[in-house]
Structure 1
């Protein structure tokens, strides 16, 4: 079959390499061109085989997946899908991989050597196929420079700007993203000043357990506070609340001027929980607030229907990430197609565009 997706499978377990290879080769859309047993082997074989997609295990001897990923992304930028364990350490490493440039990840169902990997067979096929269609420029290290992610990175210092006139309209920022989102969120949240006069709500499509690591990582390198949202959180300016995997994020007035987050596990919407549509629809019911809705990189159309509800409810500005910088242009494209988006901007301009509307 012509135009098959060429895949390199990297795992230190021979059993896992065979299983993943068999899953992919059973599908005529794929051709596994080779396998590698550690990071060093992977770097060499990426140069040699020039695959369309690499499946890369995180935990390997000699050179682990994180180190290999950084080398691959700096020398031969390639679409990479990580395979990781769901342990706390596995989640943290997976998050680093996303921030280093991996397109997506697959959580192994039962540890490093998962005898029941067939449970995620369809997910492997879908994510490798999706990765093969990704805009390489959208995640190029050179194109989108990211903050180095080391333990000693300090939150950027922000200058306090004295306001000559207090804006009486309260503002609320709500961001939706999916594939490619962790790096996009890093670009945006680390550029927002601590003094931002609004709370920020974030829906990032991710399984339970991974959003907590994402929030902790972003909090460590941002001037604003970043946390995984908890039921009952009262919204505060200068804090970003990331919806936990497996829960929809909604808002309610809780008396006085307080707006409270509540989380629920009602049915997924178009396969998503958390869902951007659900968050936007809930935000639309909050009165006396001016809203800034942001749709960034991601597969599918989550957020487009919610944006219609949000716009029809009143004072909302909508910002979408451009095709040029989106890893996957699906979500921004669907939002733009509603004709309700006010600005389409490159990723590196999203934070300043948010601030323009906060301060206006």
Structure 2
């Protein structure tokens, strides 16, 4: 394949140099230029026309958030944010994801990370993934989210409910923060089911994601806490670095967080959540696979369907997924009941829960 042309944006000359050295060890990547701040980045994007940009969040003259907005409005392309793990850094990174960034990589030790080599493989992998991104779904248009709120209409959908107790399960990865915003902002606050979510993301970032979603959604959105009882009208996001399981205690559904080993490289794991849900009795489940790289969730779907045949499974369509890996893998299992565009998934959730 042709080399992936990458533009590096960082205010540190040291970081620009070492990032170039790291990336050019991969034969599929060609670093075609660098920029020292956001304003410079915008000019270099116009001039060099890269395939992918790595963009530092905190820079003088124009920061990464402002530069990202300009890039996505004027010359949309996949942008990977390089973020610190400070509280401000995590919040800015989540904001960047909502404004159209493809993904992010954390700097191991602050803005000038002498140990940046620790994330070399992760950064290279995400650059290669970024080349496959659905660019139209990366373009940030907040009005689209707001407009979909008026589109809830009763539909006859082929669910097979045998119980009034409902549970929504969602798994997602790359492109997930934006997809979750589109879905959750269109779920009514009185939804009579809890929503359990696994979003592949490091520790610290899931809390910022939950807080930001909570600020824009009618339902409550929070990071899950070990041992809490899941409540209707609330979405629970698995904390980064921990598996989320659901178990039945009497008539209640309770969260269980563990540091068990990663499952196929993921902790939290969608498979782990789905498999735990398969053990629940007298509860109808709607399992949803959204955008993401890889195949997490596919094994869990098979287990769910084999143990709970009336579980209804939806995969996001290739048309709207930023990365179609996880939905495509789920569809290949043969257990997906419906393929739906992202803006229709909240309708499915609402109607599934309201069906009696």
Report the TM-score, using the length of structure 2 for normalisation. 0.93
Q: Which residue of the partner structure matches residue 229 of structure 2?
A: 234
**2: CA distance between counterparts of 1:175 and 1:168?**
20
Aligned-residue CA RMSD in angstroms?
A: 2.0
Q: Deviations over 1:86-126 (max 9, x none)?
A: 00110000000111111110000000000111111111111
Q: Deviations over 1:171-212 (max 9, x none)?
A: 000000000000000000110000101000000000000000
- Cα deviation for residue 353 of structure 1 reads 1.4
> Does the C-alpha gap of structure 1 residues 236 and 210 become closer, same or farther in structure 2, counting only changes over 3 Å?
same
> Any idea what the Cα deviations from partners look like across 1:275-322, whole Å, max 9, x if unmatched?
000000000001110000000000000001100111122220001100
Per-residue deviation, residues 42-61 of structure 1 (Å, max 9, x unmatched): 11111111100000000000
The residue number in structure 2 matching 1:292 is 286
Moved over 4 A (4+): none
Counterpart for residue 30 of structure 2: 31
Partner of 2:170: 175
Per the alignment, do residues 73 and 291 of structure 1 end up closer, same or farther by CA in structure 2, a change over 3 Å counting?
A: same
- What's the secondary structure of 2:144's corresponding residue? coil
Mapped partners of 1:305, 1:351: distance in 2:
24
Q: Which residue of 1 aligns with 2:249?
A: 254
Structure 1 contact 54–79 (Cα < 8 Å) conserved: yes
Task: Give distance in 1, aligned partners of 2:111 and 2:140.
Answer: 29
Match of 1:222?
217
Between the aligned partners of 1:143 and 1:264, the Cα distance in structure 2 is 35
Q: Where in structure 2 are there 5+ consecutive unaligned residues?
A: 155-161
State yes or no: 1:212 paired with 2:192.
no
Structure 1 residue 118 and structure 2 residue 113: aligned?
A: no
Q: Structure 1 CA distance, aligned partners of 2:63 and 2:195?
A: 35
DSSP 3-state at the match of 1:145: helix
Counterpart CA distance in 2 for 1:66 and 1:9 is 15
Paired residues of 1:137 and 1:143 also in contact (CA < 8 A): no
* Deviation of the 1:254 alpha carbon: 1.8
Measure, in 2, the Cα distance between the counterparts of 1:88 and 1:203: 21
- SS state at 1:8 partner: strand
Contact 2:163 2:284 in 1 (8 A): no
SS at match of 2:288: strand
Paired with 2:92 and 2:141, the residues of 1 have a C-alpha distance of 22
Q: Which residue of 1 aligns with 2:157?
A: none
Partners of 1:139 and 1:325 within 8 A in 2: no
Q: CA deviation at 1:216?
A: 0.3
Pairwise CA distance, 1:340: 1.1
Counterpart residue number, 1:339: 334
Contact 1:180–1:328 under 8 Å retained in 2: yes
TM-score, L = length of structure 1: 0.92
Give the whole-Å Cα distance in 2 for the aligned partners of 1:353 and 1:74: 31
The answer on 1:326 being equivalent to 2:321 is yes
Query: C-alpha displacement at 1:140, in angstroms?
Result: 2.7
**Cα distance, 1:143 vs. partner?**
11
CA contact (8 A) 2:99 2:139 kept: no
Residue 144 of structure 1 and its aligned partner are, at CA, apart by: 8.9
Task: Name the SS of the counterpart of 1:292 in structure 2.
Answer: strand
Partner of 1:212: helix, strand, or coil? helix
Match of 1:265 in 2: 259
Deviation of the 1:168 alpha carbon: 5.3
Is contact 1:138–1:144 with CA below 8 Å preserved after alignment? no
Corresponding residue pairs, total: 345
User: Paired residue for 1:85?
Assistant: 84
Offset of 1:141 from its aligned partner?
3.3
Alpha-carbon deviation of 1:138?
2.6
Q: Is the CA contact (8 Å cut-off) linking 1:13 and 1:37 kept in structure 2? A: yes
Q: Distance in 2 between matches of 1:56 and 1:174?
A: 33
State the alpha-carbon separation in 1 of the partners of residues 303 and 208 from structure 2.
31
